[in-house]
Structure 1
Amino acid sequence: MSSSDVDFLHALKVRRGVDSKISTAIRSGDADLLQSAVTSLHAKLSRKLQKHVSEKHLLAGWSIKSDSTEAPPLVSGQGATRKASAKSVEESAEWLLCALTGDGPEQPVAVTAAAELLLRWGLKLPSETWCQLLCGLNDHLSVLTGRSGYDSEMTLAAESAFVLSLVLEPIVNVTALRKSAVKALSSCVDESTDTDGMFHASIAREADFWIAPLVRAANWSKAAGTPWLDEEMEDRWRMAVARFASLMTPDGIVSSSGSALSRGILHHAVRLAGFAADSRVGQLAASLNGDKSARRNSQKSKRRAGRFNCQSDWAESAVLRSRMTVDADVMTLNWDEDTAAVQLAALGSRVLGGAWSSDLRVNGKPPKVEPGWSCTCWYNDKDASFAELELIDSDEVRHVRHVMLSMKDHYAVISESVSVNDADAEIEYHSSLSLDDRLTAEPDPITRQILLNSDCHSVRVVPAWLDDDRVQPTIGACRVQGKTLEMSVTGRGGVCLPLVLDWHPERRIHDADWNRLTVTEERVVMTGQQASGYRIRIGQLQLLLYRSLEQGETLRAVLGHHTASETVYGNVTNEGEIEPLVVVEGVTE
């Protein structure tokens, strides 16, 4: 051992009542004795930790982004498929020693990784390296000093403090550190979620990286038999795990680029939060981790996602999910930034993911509008989930966005409407959605529909605001450019841009047809600035999409349906009747 490490051991102030072997080892600088004595006191904690961790890598690797570091496989989890060897453990220890003394992006998680390495595979390390890691951990006892807030860095720091209080307990007094760590971890859960456990949108984009330190802290807590959260936060934590599960697909988190490690995070989170194996959350976690019996049982269940669908004004986010199964349809909508974002997974495979961008011109010029969105309507039942966003603080333009996900028929509606006060104003509107990289576009040679194909499924894109026949003139466009679905429409006074996405396997063989409908009020045909209606038919599915951009004085008629509502989305029966799925009442003046 180097002289600096010996000096450190001499300077270490051990707690009162410390094991005599530890004090002797520190006084004499005996690395072998110190490793043996501390490892013996860690034995129970180490056994319990190992009992519930089957991964061949450090769980700390959940918090290391694959593109941000060159951490060894044992640390990062990338490519770690074999049992940890003495060589791989020592290589990881050397990397962690450098990380503990540096200030790079991997430094915050290095404390947790080093502690986990000592407990899981510490006996495979030479005593000198083992003591160097222990000394490095001791240097980070002030990890929480000067930190505040609830971002991922703070969560990692709180976890590190909790872990240090367990690993260094045989040597130093950690009572105050553990108390501070529990308070900080509780604060992270409290400030990052609403009372229903829903993540703020800024966190939901990388929910796996936010929740990973909390899952590890819960794992350490269970092994050590000591609380990691204040009692009043335990129910909130359980709800947050359920919300995390509702974001999961086989690709990972639907609202991010995804990580294969996310499935492992969910598996541990569900176990530690106390969900039963036969619960919907428990079955989903098991299915995602390859449990075939759990997958069969969950797919047999006819229960919808129900209470797992949620919307929060505080979180500035909405989650729409058909079922708690691996092949579920999932949408998320976030509006915490100037540009809203929408994500979609069809039958468990990602389709959309990213910004919902737009560009508006009124009489050739961009209008003066302040960016920012507000959720003005949320609806959820057994047939459909629906969310409405409206541009806030704009007297000149009314811009409304809708997303609707069918709970059982495998389709979604993504719709927009823009209207201005001047009925004669020329409107040019462009909108775009980000597509998953694995999709390839196949335009239909006859209609204006587009097929988005992947190895898993095909998604039919129906631009209902355009004439379905390519021969007919059009008021806009819908095309795929690179990995972006680009849409445009022109009109006077107001425009609607309703998009239907359909991926039902049994409808794949059927052609789609659609048309714009006539909307009347007192036998007067409404203009596009007043109201628009559309009919879409794909096999047995037939939809009515109606939007009122200007409140009428009496009932309006569309496809034989009379309504005073602002929005009506519904099924058209074989008898021509309208069975509403979503009805949004207009604002009363």
Structure 2
Amino acid sequence: TTASRVKARDAGRRIRAAADASDVLEVRGRLRTLARQVARSPGNVRSVTRIETVIGACLDEAASCESPRERWLLDEAATWAIAWLASARRAGVTAGSLLDRILAEGARADHVLADGDTAPARFLLVLTRLFREPEACRRYAEHVSTGLTKEIESLVTSEGAVMLPGSIALVGRVAHWTECRDVALATGGLPWDDDTERAWAAAVATAARLLGTRGRMLAGSGQLPAAASASLLEAIENAGRGKGAGSRFPKPLRRAARRLSRRPREEDGGRLPAADFHDATAGLTIIRSGWGGPGESVAGLRVLVDHREHTPWLEIAVADRLLVAGPWQFRVRVGGRDRTLQGPWTVAAWESDRTASFLEITAPLGDGMRFDRHVVVLPQAGIVLAADAIVARPPTDDGGAEHAAVHAGNGAARTDDIEYVGTIPLAAALDAEPAAETREIVLYDTTTRGMALPLGLNEWRTGAGGSFEAEGGLTLAQTGHGRLYAPVWFDCDASRVGGPLTWRQLTVADTRRILPAWQAVGYRVQAGDEQWLVYRTLDAARNRTVLGCNVSCDFLVGRIRPRGMVSRILEIV
């Protein structure tokens, strides 16, 4: 069978890339050996025999490999090597049987692809582009193009959201598509049509927002090797160059990619893309402090909220470390009865600028109750506020007319006891150490990463009203009457840990009347030399006073200046 023209240097580079993508030490070693032998082969009989021996060993290992990913990497590397031997007319006596074995692996990969799994797509693209003559390869070529197109169409929204839970799954899948595209371009052309190319480009732009400050994918155990995400950054910078090379990304995104890959240019001082991403229909929001440039007090603060499922997925990362990653769970009892969500999450509010970002989602709890969940990010301060609220639905909602009195400002509240337990999942490599006498929890791995404060509870452990523990995540238990607000304040600036720290619930007044906590709450937080004010109404917004500050909004966060004045950072009406 005639192979497409393959140079030894190119084959060696591709085999080395497969080695870098492997997670198994023995596989990496074997493929690197093959890459060296192919790239440096003098082409004599002895060197060809050695190469064919290593190819056979790769195929033997692929056949017995428990990991499908490692199997397809071994098959891909073997295909590059045998294609170079065939195109250079240096094939030895075993080359024909080796190619037959590779074609048999192609048949197995095609069956996997038919079941909707595109994991072997990269191997199949290499096989079908380098060996075009076999009838089976022509069938596989059509199948792999169709499989990739269907997967991208089903997972990527028009805004570029990728419908997979968590940054590792999302970025990993987009990187897989990008690697397939790179192989296809190197061996002939794009593996999909123009519509799919546009969807892929939108997904790449979204995935870039989830990389760490060094351009790495972040996992619970730390950052992954650079090879896992290198294809994304290279695609952003190089896509669109050359005939038939597909999409070309906007200059701002290319500048951002070079910052992440630590290859900035002198002219990269221009405009950067928006760091945040929000697709309300897809239920995905990414909040990012920036792209690693100057002026970021906390480098690479990034939050992901995915609320497509009953239990939203939450991630908080700083620089190259995940602090929080996983399902943000909750349990609610009202009047002694367990309550569950009676409908899907919907976006109630979204605002974002350079000083603050605010996302609130809401879902019905039944019996006129509503569950609100919001995330606030103050990028310049390195603060993330993750909070839940249990309130009454407004009278315009189904069944809400009889609950109109609950929203009448100083009107009577429902008297049901509320028991709330929320668990924010910590990243696998992170440890948490509660303070001995107070309720803050310090987060650390090899160094201190930040701290978490339960603002709705008394600062001292002797206080009643709930608990805040580090068992299986950060678990906040809080009780209330009628309505309840349960906030957790993450300070992601490690330099403030160990300094002066305190928080207090404040008095909220309405027409000179002190309001109970079921109507509105306010908190004062001090860490180091900095202080903040947080305010949340739990009934209808009215003109009220907290810490000498007049508020008429649903939510407010501001910085308290040295003379006691409040500088408003974010106000949600």
TM-score, reference length from structure 2 = 0.79
Q: Which amino acid aligns with 2:312?
A: A
Pair 1:266 & 2:229 matched: yes
Moved more, 572-581 or 411-420: 572-581
The alpha-carbon deviation at position 476 of structure 1 amounts to 1.2
Residue number in structure 2 paired with 1:532? 521
Moved more, 503-512 or 563-572: 503-512
Query: Does the Cα contact within 8 Å between 1:255 and 1:332 map onto a contact in 2?
Result: no
Residue number in structure 2 paired with 1:398? 370
Residue number in structure 2 paired with 1:55? 17
Percent of pairs identical after alignment? 18
Residues 341 and 577 (structure 1), Cα distance of their counterparts in 2 relative to 1, 3 Å cut = same
Pair 1:338 & 2:326 matched: no
Residues 506 and 71 (structure 1), Cα distance of their counterparts in 2 relative to 1, 3 Å cut = closer
In 1, Cα distance between equivalents of 2:95 and 2:278: 53
Structure 2 matches for 1:82-93, cutoff 5 A? Answer: 86=51, 89-93=55-59
Q: Which amino acid aligns with 2:391?
A: S
In 2, Cα distance between equivalents of 1:576 and 1:502: 21
Out of 470, 486, 494, which is 1:480 matched to?
Answer: 470
The alpha-carbon deviation at position 245 of structure 1 amounts to 1.7
The alpha-carbon deviation at position 413 of structure 1 amounts to 0.8
Give the paired residue count: 519
Residues 109 and 450 (structure 1), Cα distance of their counterparts in 2 relative to 1, 3 Å cut = closer
Residue number in structure 1 paired with 2:95? 127
The alpha-carbon deviation at position 575 of structure 1 amounts to 3.8
Structure 2 matches for 1:279-358, cutoff 5 A? Answer: 307-325=274-292, 327-358=299-330
Query: Does the Cα contact within 8 Å between 1:369 and 1:396 map onto a contact in 2?
Result: no
The alpha-carbon deviation at position 454 of structure 1 amounts to 2.0
Deviations 1:42-79 (A, max 9, x none): 333775455567536175x4xxxx6xxx89523999x9
Pair 1:428 & 2:406 matched: no
In 2, Cα distance between equivalents of 1:272 and 1:50: 21
Superposition RMSD in Å: 3.8
Residues 457 and 499 (structure 1), Cα distance of their counterparts in 2 relative to 1, 3 Å cut = same
Deviations 1:386-410 (A, max 9, x none): 2112124634321111112222221
Residue number in structure 2 paired with 1:565? 553
Moved more, 229-238 or 274-283: 274-283
Helix, strand or coil for the counterpart of 1:535?
strand
The alpha-carbon deviation at position 487 of structure 1 amounts to 0.7
Out of 339, 362, 367, which is 2:334 matched to?
Answer: 362
Residue number in structure 1 paired with 2:565? 577
Could you tell me which runs of 5 or more consecutive residues in structure 1 were left unpaired when the two chains were aligned.
1-21, 23-37
Residue number in structure 2 paired with 1:227? 190
Could you tell me which runs of 5 or more consecutive residues in structure 2 were left unpaired when the two chains were aligned.
38-49, 86-90, 240-248, 294-298, 393-402, 404-412
Structure 2 matches for 1:122-521, cutoff 5 A? Answer: 123=85, 126-127=94-95, 129-137=97-105, 139-140=107-108, 143=111, 147=115, 153=117, 155-156=118-119, 159=122, 161-172=124-135, 178-202=141-165, 204=167, 206-249=169-212, 253-254=217-218, 260-261=224-225, 263-275=226-238, 307-325=274-292, 327-367=299-339, 369-370=341-342, 372-392=344-364, 394-420=366-392, 423-471=414-462, 473-481=463-471, 483-521=472-510
Residues 44 and 145 (structure 1), Cα distance of their counterparts in 2 relative to 1, 3 Å cut = closer
In 2, Cα distance between equivalents of 1:317 and 1:164: 36
Query: Does the Cα contact within 8 Å between 1:370 and 1:392 map onto a contact in 2?
Result: yes
Residues 351 and 173 (structure 1), Cα distance of their counterparts in 2 relative to 1, 3 Å cut = closer
Residues 278 and 139 (structure 1), Cα distance of their counterparts in 2 relative to 1, 3 Å cut = closer
Residue number in structure 1 paired with 2:6? 44
Runs of 4+ aligned structure 1 residues displaced above 4 Å come to: 45-54, 79-89, 108-113, 121-126, 140-148, 157-161, 173-177, 254-259, 275-289, 300-303
Helix, strand or coil for the counterpart of 1:156?
coil
Out of 86, 95, 117, which is 2:61 matched to?
Answer: 95
Helix, strand or coil for the counterpart of 2:438?
coil
Moved more, 131-140 or 533-542: 131-140
Query: Does the Cα contact within 8 Å between 2:328 and 2:425 map onto a contact in 1?
Result: yes
In 1, Cα distance between equivalents of 2:148 and 2:381: 41
Query: Does the Cα contact within 8 Å between 1:570 and 1:581 map onto a contact in 2?
Result: yes
Residues 164 and 347 (structure 1), Cα distance of their counterparts in 2 relative to 1, 3 Å cut = closer
TM-score, reference length from structure 1 = 0.77
